[in-house]
Structures are given as C-alpha cells and as structure tokens.
Structure 1
Amino acid sequence: METTGTRRSLAWLLGIWALTRVILLLFVFKVYVFPGPDVTSDVSVIYQGWYEVLRTGTFPLDDVTWQYPPAAALAVLSPALVFWLDYPSAFFVLAFTADLAVLLLLLYAGLRPGRTLRGVWVWVAGVPLLGPTVYARYDVMVTAVAVAALLAGTRHPRVLGALAAFGAMLKVWPALLLLAARGRAAWGWAALTAGVLSAVFALAMPGAFAFLTFQRERGTEVESLGALVFHVARQYGWDGEVLLNYGSVEFLGPYVDVVSTAALVLTGLSFGWLLLWRLRARRLHPHTLADAAFVAALMFTTTSRVISPQYLVWLVGLAAVCLCFRDSRMKLPVALVLAASFVTVLEFPLWFSHVVASDALGVTLLFLRNGLLVLATVLAARALWSSTIPRPAPAPVPAQTTRTKETSLPS
C-alpha cells in the first residue's frame, strides 16, 4: 500500500514538474509571450554584455550594474559550455538543468527514511508561481548549490562548508547556510574555499571585488519594504521620481537616503537577533540547519533595500529543504512564502507598470506581497526560537510552613 502510494505521488510530482517546466521554457523561448516587461532581456542584453567582457579576462569594471561576487563570472560564462546554442538559449537550458538538479536532490532526500516528499512539492509548485523570471536569472543556479549544501550538511559538514562558501562567492546570501553549522569542520572548509577562490579571482582577473563599491551605492528599489513609504508619499505630493538606477528601478529624491539607511539598520538588527539565537540555541535538531537558513534568508530578503522577484527563488529552495524534514516547524511560513511568490509574479512582470506608477493596484500588490514576507519572517523566527531554546524552568514554589501556636487553656 505504502509503496503504491509513493509511486503514485512520484508520478504526479514528475508529471506536474515536467508540464510546468515546459510552459516556462515556452515563455522564455518566446513561443508564447508572457504579459508585462520582457524578463529575458537581462540575459540577452546584460548577461551577454558581461559575457563578452569576462571573456577578455577582466570584470566589467565600468558597469555599475555588476554587483556580484567574483564567482558570478562562472555563471555568466557557463553558456559557453552549450556552444552549439546562442547565448540566451544556452542560458535558459542551463537554468532548466539547475531546476532539474534541485528536483533530483530533493527527491533523493525526501525518499530517505524519516523524510517526506513535501519539500519536493514545494519546489515543484513554487518555481512556476514565480513565472519565467526564474529561468531568466542565474539565481536558480545559486539555489541549486544552496540546496545541495543544506542536504549534505547534517552528515557531511565539510561539504556544507565548501558549497556554502562557493555559493557565497556566487551571490553572498548562501553564507547564511552556516548559521546553525555545528563543529569547526564546516566553518574551516568554508574559510578555506572562500580564501582560495578569492585569491584565484584576485590574481587572475582585475576588479574581482569592485562589486562592493557598486553595491554600497544602491538606493531603495520600488519593490522593497522601504519603498512602500514612497509609494504612499507619492499620493500626497512627494517630490521624487522613479528611475532606472544601478540596474534596478529605484526611488530617487528627498528622504530616500534615510529610508535606505533604515533598511540597513533593520538588516543589522536582524543579524543581531540571529547571533543572539545562535548563542542561546541548545536543542539543535537535524532540521534546524535548514530552518535557521530559511529564517536568515527571510530576514535578509525582507529588510533589504532591494526585493527583486528572483530573490523568492532562494526562499522557495530553502523552504523546500525545510519541509523534507517531518519535524520542521516551518509549514505555515513556507505556505506564506508560496503565497508571496504568486503575488510576486502579479507585481512583476504582469502589472509592473502599476507598481512603477504607484497606483492603487500596484501599491495593493506590494503591501500584500511584502506583508506576507514580513508575517512569514516573524512566524518563522518565532518557531525557530521556540524549537531550539528551552524555556527557563519555573521558579520552585516555596513550601508552605505551618506554625503551631501553642495556646494555653485557662486552668
């Protein structure tokens, strides 16, 4: 009975995955045109432009839109492996391959004793909710590295450390995977991997760390949590504008620097909370590694000055790993992230013009999407804290003492 049920579930999983991924490929190859702005232009214009520069042996030093760690060059150059296709087509094929790799990793993990296939369902359903943007950004490749790191982490800490460091050199955020790593092996291998990669890129290609300057000078992107301040302020005559700046559509004008600084402060406070949690956590379960990474990524994403649609790919991947474990307490936050993913494809690319215009539809979508992310972050952090930090034992109630008063009876 159980074997038959598992086979039937696997058949549905693979069938739905295949159907939804074919649809995504039809959109990115423009057999059908997805409504809204062309999400594939980042590949055909920006990535391909970087590719031509990187092939010469240097980073795109004069392009402020290059805001990624040095190993990102590997992702941008990777379509050269599929040399018989043009650059955009090769990139889409590799993004599809990364998606397939995540599916296989989650299937392998979910079929092990004590695990569940719920995590696979999260990935199968979550990716198409984000639309064709998933295959038009290299974030799905980074997510594949992160998923592999987390699934290996409980048994192979060295692999966790090496893959987390490699992922961080691709796009920074996978460094969060080490938050709940136990022992020195994971941290040691992470430091070694990051050091070697940094040295190789610094020596081999000029400008390996120019991205730090470009990233620091970014403003408040129109889809971020802080941007809601200006979306509302525009209704009351705020004297600012929306422009393409540092590779994203941002608010520019009065008080933008204040809101951007506030976002950085919130991010700092989030990391402070994570540090406090790590110092106080005592009950580390097999699923804690994934749960902690999910919470940290939620905090990083929600408080960021930029919440690009592809950031949700990270969250879906980490959420899928969490639900591979039966005892994970992240079920409700994961459901909220999936809901936020659906709203994300509505605000970008479908109705992005309404977001840029700050009209009623655009502002409503952003309040809903960002509200879901905030709620998911709070609930996930609360679940992580309560499942790993024991409550203080109640103070003992002092025993009541009875005094026997001697009474003297009149004689």
Structure 2
Amino acid sequence: MGPGTRRGAAVLSSLTLLAGSACSAPGEENAVHLFFVPEPSIPAIVEQCNAMANGDYRIVFHELPRDGAGQLASVRKELGEAGGADIAGLDVTWTPEFAERGRLAEWTGAELAEAERGVLEGPRSTARWAGKVRAATKNTNVQLLWFDDRLVPRPPSSWDELIDQAARLRAGGKPGHLLVTGAEYEGLVVLYNSMVGSAGGRLLGEDGKSAVVDAGAVAALGTLRALADTGALHPFVARHREEDIRLAFERGEGAFQVNWPYVYPAMAQARPVDLPHFRWARVPGSVPGTGGRSTIGGYNLGVRAESARPEVFQAALCLRSPENQKLAAVRDGLPPTLEQVYADTTPLDPARPVDPVTNPSMATAYPMKDTIAEAVREAAPRPATPAYQEVSATIARVLSPPGAIDPERTAATLRTELGGVLG
C-alpha cells in the first residue's frame, strides 16, 4: 500500500462501521463476503453494486482494521482455507505472497479482459505474479512533491535543485525544510524506492529471489545522505510518518513535503485559506529537468481460491468499475487505475450542474489528476516478492536514520541482509 493510501479516508471520514459487523443470513448462498479497509465510500459502493446485481449476488462488507499490520493479519486469516472472505482488499505489495501460497484465484476469460481494460500499466503490474493475473486493480497511488508557492515559485525537478532552493529559503530566514517519511517503517522504504526508481536502479532481481542493490540504488543512498547533510531535511525527520509531515507542513514547518494525494483534501478542510497556494509536482529526479519516478501504491481486489464463482468475479468488477473508481477519487482522494476516469469531465450526478462540494467532478475535486496520471504511467513499483514484509522491514532498519547512511557501506549491508531474507 502506499502508507498514505487510506489515511486520507481516516482524516476525512466519520465512518463508524465495526469490523465484521455485516453478516449474511445462514444459508444465503448468493452472499459475497468482502473484507476491505476502512474507506468512506465503500458502503455506498457496496449498496450500489447490490442494487445493480439483480439478485445474482449480495455483497456483505466486513471492515478490516485501520492499521497495516492488522489488515495483513486479517487478510491472511480470511484468505486461508478456513477463512470467510470471497473478495479481499490487497495492498499492492501483497499479491506475490498470497499468489505464491495458492490463496488467490486466477483471472481468466471475459472477467480478465474486463479487469485489465483501460488499466494504466503501473497498477496493472501490481495485480500479476508469475505471469498470471491474480487480482483486479481498485485504486492506485503515487506520492507527489507538495509545496507552498509563496515560498517556492518554481518546483524543483531534481533533488539537487531542491537542496539549493531549501538552502536559500533558510538563509533568508524562511521555512526551508523538506518533510519526508523518515521514521523506521514502510514510509522510508517508499521514499528510498522512489529515489532508486528515479536513478534507474534495482534492489532485487526480477524473480524477487535475489538481492541486487545496483549502482542506481547506491546513487539513491547518496541522495538521502545529501539531503540529511545539507540540512534540507526537517530536524525531526527520523520520527516522521505521513500524518506527522502533513501536520508539520500545515503548521508552516517546511516549504516542501513528499506525500500522498490525500493531503490535498485534508488541507482544504484544515486550512482552506492556504489552499490556493498549496501546489504540487512530480517527485524530483536524479537529473535536472527529467522529473522522478514515484513508488506506486494502492489496493487490488483478490478472489479467494475456493470462491472462484462467476458472481464473485462480477461483484469484484462492480466494486472497481469506472463509476466507482471516480466516486472513490472525488470523495476519498484515491487515484483511479483506469485511464478513462482521469479524462472524465462529468460531475458525480450528471443530471445536475457541477458543484465543488455537493456535486464535484474530477477537475473540481481532483485538480492534481493530470500530474497523478503522468506519475502513475511512469511509477516505480516496489520489489515484487512473496517475502516483501521481511524485505521492507530490513530496508527500513538499514536506512534508519538517513543521516547515518554511508552509500557504499550501506549498500553492501543491504545486499547481505536482503540476501539473508531471500535466501
């Protein structure tokens, strides 16, 4: 997942459903049990799909825990042989694990064609493992560089440019820090993976079974160290997660933040007077003028191996239809995986005029949509491996804190420790 993939929903929602609170009546054979993360629009989407099903199925929504570890533990249980899920929400990094365990049905035939129609390549890759499609993409995510245009009239396209701009701001007595997720957790891995992708590097081999940590990965370590050495990073970087940096930016403690798109609706709610100056660009790259590649996040829908019935696939397809991806984008800030949704100009209710609050369109509720679509097309997937959780924990530990990184030495440590995890 992108660590911020669901945080926007948590910030903006007062959803009070309890996990597993929806239960089907005994013997209800057409019930399709969906286990998914807390997302404000999911109840409405489920209701709409049930209304359109004409009795072929009835989706029963079970809410997963809010924290990532709890979600993974629950999905492992519910996708097991004795589990209760028919459809489960999968963080994009989980597909290899569950596919390798044989817990996900393969998508084939007409259902496969529909699941892949119009999907951007970055998200499409996260639903595959070992040459087979094991999930349908529901939403994607990429981080952007967010900045205050009163401090930064022109966004930097490279990390060196950002370092220079930050230094000039601090020299002038203005907020000149870059806010990033530098705590020892997945957020640091996401940041580093974006830098690795921007430098054309690799951490693991294509089969996900060997550690590479090539020259591009070493260069990315040098970028992290340079940001720390030059003072561009916030003094509390080693404690910061997504919400920490979002709030610090809103308090005026930085000129830049690298974060997920949920920060835009959060800013609109928390500081509407500053919203016109809250701008965005793609994350910086290694070379000036080229732009960077952001780590791809998001969620997919996996069908449990024992639940491979036509109505279950149809229910999953409805949950991630263009209309429902659009609803999740404008209401919850979740980027679509479908190209056509980014080009959609109609409001949620086409029968009424566009209103930014009551009847938004993609343009009014999601002004950063074109930048997101561009970033998604050129995104940097995280290393695909059934052992991703162990790989991620290892990378986060070795890179923490960023100020202690020695590129060549740290790269050697990564190769050794990742090799141990994979070997």
TM-score w.r.t. the length of structure 1 is 0.27
Quick check: which one's strand share is greater? 2
Greater relative contact order: 1 or 2 (C-alpha under 8 angstroms, separation 6 or more)?
Answer: 2
